[in-house]
């Protein structure tokens, strides 16, 4: 689980803890910009292709709240397109076909949210360019927003040409392209999904890894877009604890350890070993499964597949998954407790950890 993604170097890295202890002696928050904020901002800008300027927040949800206000302010349009099963935090405008927790718990999309709050949110199936173009043709759209690799409907990759197609369509129709990289940022590569796939959005939201396990979020993009944000521009967004020294310290130390190819080569190797071992164990026991990974992010479904959208994901045998998860937990293996969640590996996981997990999976699959 890796605290749902942030713990990419482990839950209690010695260097991160030492840096946090040193910073706590100086102060935890000042309600003002700090040199640490500038240092982490420069690291983000250097790493992420789309980011010329960045604004820190306290969570991925806050980052997406700031982002949606920004794209509407910049384009002077109100409607946005999101994808079925993609989650962008619990802000009202995004709780439409949001996957993940609402899907697992069987909740309606947006109880307590006024109809007007979601009237500007349009939905398309993930990996369906034709559906996106139809919405763009019929509406004045501010932005197309997506998880470039879905983690909140389970682990779903973009099919070949999908991300590039979105880049071309948004440019054609005057909309912005937004990658929500709260999960994928600094996880599937140091520069996120946009570096991995070679497709550059206009705006990016981030979180999780860049806080090193402390509450953090960020949104960034091209300079002319980000200059809409106060105090440079008229679009207001602020937060008392945004960019606080503790979160910045943990983020800096974490990102220092991720620089270079060695960290991601290790993540890819151990994650591939884990997911291939789980899939093989399931198939050997006669279960229909499909799945995969990119670097330290992975997932599988109890169905034949392929799974290219949330609708495909819902064909999974969730009762069988629940039994499998419970039995794994009884054997000391804690995985995401939903068929609709991706999994995350860390640099702290060893080959022994992976082998023990695969052995437990073999035991459990044989009992289902």
The reported pLDDT for the residue numbered 2 is 87
The reported pLDDT for the residue numbered 109 is 62
The reported pLDDT for the residue numbered 107 is 44
> Catalytic pick from 180, 202, 268, 312?
180
The reported pLDDT for the residue numbered 100 is 52
The reported pLDDT for the residue numbered 104 is 38
- Residue 257 a catalytic site member: no
- Residue 208 a catalytic site member: yes
Residue 303 has what DSSP assignment?
A: S
> Catalytic pick from 157, 208, 253, 320?
208
- How would you list the strands of the sheet with 53-57, edge to edge? 53-57, 217-221, 203-207, 176-180, 141-146, 79-83, 121-124
What's CA 165's distance to the chain center, in Å?
A: 20
- Residue 22 a catalytic site member: no
Q: What is the pLDDT along the chain (368 residues), one digit of tens a residue?
A: 888 899 999 999 999 999 999 999 999 999 888 899 999 999 999 999 999 999 999 999 999 999 999 999 999 999 999 999 898 988 888 877 655 544 434 444 667 877 788 788 999 999 999 999 999 999 999 999 999 999 999 999 999 999 999 999 999 999 999 999 999 999 999 999 999 999 999 999 999 999 999 999 999 999 999 999 999 999 999 999 999 999 999 999 999 999 988 999 999 999 999 999 999 999 999 999 999 999 999 999 999 999 999 999 999 999 999 999 999 999 999 999 999 999 999 999 999 999 999 999 999 999 99
> Catalytic pick from 74, 79, 87, 340?
87
223 burial level (CB within 10 Å; 0-12, 13-18, 19+): exposed
The reported pLDDT for the residue numbered 116 is 80
């Amino acid at each position: 689980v890796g605290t749902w993604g942030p713990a990419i170097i482990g839950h209690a890295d010695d260097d991160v803890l030492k840096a946090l202890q040193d910073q706590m002696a100086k102060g935890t928050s000042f309600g003002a910009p700090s040199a640490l904020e500038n240092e982490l901002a420069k690291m983000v800008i250097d790493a992420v292709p789309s980011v010329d300027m960045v604004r820190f927040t306290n969570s991925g949800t806050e980052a997406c709240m700031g982002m949606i206000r920004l794209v509407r302010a910049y384009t002077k349009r109100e409607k946005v397109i999101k994808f079925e099963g993609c989650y962008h935090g619990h802000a009202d405008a995004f709780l439409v076909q949001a996957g993940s927790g609402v899907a697992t718990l069987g909740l309606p999309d947006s109880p307590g949210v006024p109809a007007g709050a979601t009237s500007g949110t349009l939905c398309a199936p993930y990996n369906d360019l034709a559906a996106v173009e139809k919405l763009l043709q019929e509406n004045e759209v501010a932005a197309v927003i997506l998880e470039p690799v879905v983690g909140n409907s389970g682990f779903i990759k973009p099919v070949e040409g999908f991300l590039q197609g979105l880049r071309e369509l948004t440019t054609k129709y005057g909309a912005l392209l937004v990658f929500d990289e709260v999960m994928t940022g600094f996880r599937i590569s140091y520069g996120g999904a946009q570096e991995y796939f070679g497709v550059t959005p206009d705006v990016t939201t981030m979180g999780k890894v860049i806080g090193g396990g402390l509450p953090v979020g960020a949104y960034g993009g091209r300079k002319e877009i980000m200059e809409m944000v106060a105090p440079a521009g008229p679009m207001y967004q602020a937060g008392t604890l945004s960019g606080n020294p503790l979160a910045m310290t943990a983020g800096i130390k974490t990102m220092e350890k991720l620089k270079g190819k060695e960290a991601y080569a290790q993540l890819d190797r151990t994650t591939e070993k884990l997911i291939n071992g789980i899939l093989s164990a399931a198939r050997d026991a006669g279960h229909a499964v499909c799945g995969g990974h990119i670097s330290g992010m992975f997932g599988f479904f109890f169905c034949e597949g392929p799974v290219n959208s949330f609708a495909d994901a819902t064909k999974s045998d969730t009762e069988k998954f629940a039994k499998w998860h419970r039995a794994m937990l009884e054997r000391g293996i804690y995985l995401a407790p939903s068929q609709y969640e991706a999994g995350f590996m860390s640099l702290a996981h060893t080959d022994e950890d992976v082998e023990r997990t695969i052995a437990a999976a073999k035991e459990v699959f044989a009992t289902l």
